Amino acid sequence: MHKSAYSVAVVGATGLVGTEIVTALGQRRFPIADLQLYASIRSAGDELQCGDVRAPVELLERARFDGTDLVFFAAGEHVSAEWIERATAAGAVVIDISPLCAADPDVPLVVPEVNAAELSGYTTRGIVASPDAPAIALAVALKPLADAAGLVRVVCSTFEPVCGAGRRGIEELQRQTIELMNGRSTNNEVFPHRIAFNILPHVGEFLAGGFARGEVHIVTGVRRLLADPALPVSVTCTRLPVFYGEALAVNVETARKLTATEARNILRVAPGVLLQDDLETGSYPTAADAVGQDATLVGRIREDESLNVLDFWLALDTLRKGAAVNAVQIAEVLIREYL
Ligand SMILES: NC(=O)c1ccc[n+]([C@@H]2O[C@H](COP(=O)([O-])OP(=O)(O)OC[C@H]3O[C@@H](n4cnc5c(N)ncnc54)[C@H](OP(=O)(O)O)[C@@H]3O)[C@@H](O)[C@H]2O)c1
Does the global pTM surpass 0.85? yes
Query: What is the rounded average pLDDT of the residues 178-191?
Result: 97
CA 223–ligand 1 middle distance (angstroms): 26
Please answer whether residues 15 and 319 qualify as being in contact, where contact means their C-beta atoms are separated by less than 8 angstroms: no
Q: Is the CB of 42 under 6 A from ligand 1?
A: yes
Per-residue pLDDT at 1 exceeds 70? no
pLDDT of amino acid 305: 84
Q: What is the CATH code for 134-318?
A: 3.30.360.10
Is residue 250 a contact partner of residue 158, using CB atoms and an 8 Å limit? no
Distance CA 68, CA 87 (A): 8
Mean pLDDT estimate for the chain: 97
* CA 167 / ligand 1 centre spacing (Å): 8
Provide the pLDDT confidence category of residue 57 given band limits of 50, 70 and 90.
very high
CA dihedral 75, 78, 82, 87 (to 10 degrees): 30
Q: With beta carbons less than 8 A apart as the criterion, state whether 322 and 22 touch.
A: no
Domain residue extents for the chain = 6-130+323-337, 134-318
Which residues are 39's β-sheet partners? 59
Distance, CA of 323 to CA of 166 (rounded, Å): 12
Which residue blocks in the chain are alpha helix, DSSP H?
Answer: 16-27, 77-89, 112-115, 133-149, 167-181, 213-225, 260-268, 287-290, 325-337
**C-alpha distance across the termini of the chain, in Å:** 8
Mean pLDDT of 95-124: 97
Assess whether the C-beta atom of 77 lies below 6 angstroms from ligand 1.
yes
Helix axes 133-149 and 260-268, enclosed angle (nearest 10): 120
Residue 77 Cα to ligand 1 midpoint, Å, equals: 9
Q: How far is CA 271 from the centre of its chain?
A: 16
Dist. CA 134–CA 154, nearest whole Å: 13
How far is the centre of ligand 1, averaged over its atoms, from the C-alpha of 166 (Å)?
A: 6
Mean pLDDT score, 4-28: 97
The whole-number pLDDT of residue 307 equals 87
| Pocket flag, ligand 1, residue 167 (CB < 6 Å) | yes
CA of 14 to the centre of ligand 1 (A): 8
Residue 137 pLDDT grade (very low, low, confident, very high; cuts 50, 70, 90) = very high
- Convert the pLDDT of each residue in 138-170 to its tens digit: 999 999 999 999 999 999 999 999 999 999 999
Atom of ligand 1 nearest to the CA of 132: 6
Mean per-residue pLDDT, 34-44: 97
6-130+323-337 — its CATH code? 3.40.50.720
Q: Is residue 180 scored above 80 in pLDDT?
A: yes
Radius of gyration of the chain (CA): 20
Whether 39 is in the pocket of ligand 1, judged by its Cβ within 6 Å, is yes
Residue 185 CB-density burial (10 A; 0-12 exposed, 13-18 middle, 19+ buried): exposed
CB distance 166 to ligand 1 below 6 Å: yes
Instruction: State yes or no: pLDDT of 284 exceeds 90.
Output: yes
Closest ligand 1 atom to 76 CA:
45
pLDDT, residue 279, reads 85
Q: How far is the CA of 99 from the centre of ligand 1 (A)?
A: 12
Residue 108: exposure state from Cβ atoms within 10 A (0-12, 13-18, ≥19): buried
pLDDT score recorded for residue 2: 80
The response to whether residue 51 sits with its C-beta less than 6 Å from ligand 1 reads no
Ligand 1 atom nearest 318 alpha carbon = 3
Residue 190, ligand 1, Cβ within 6 A = no
CA of 12 to the centre of ligand 1 (A): 5
Q: 173 CB less than 6 Å from ligand 1?
A: no
Q: How many angstroms does the Cα of residue 262 sit away from the middle of ligand 1?
A: 41
Which residues face 235 on adjacent strands? 156
Of all residues in the chain, the percent with pLDDT exceeding 70 is 100
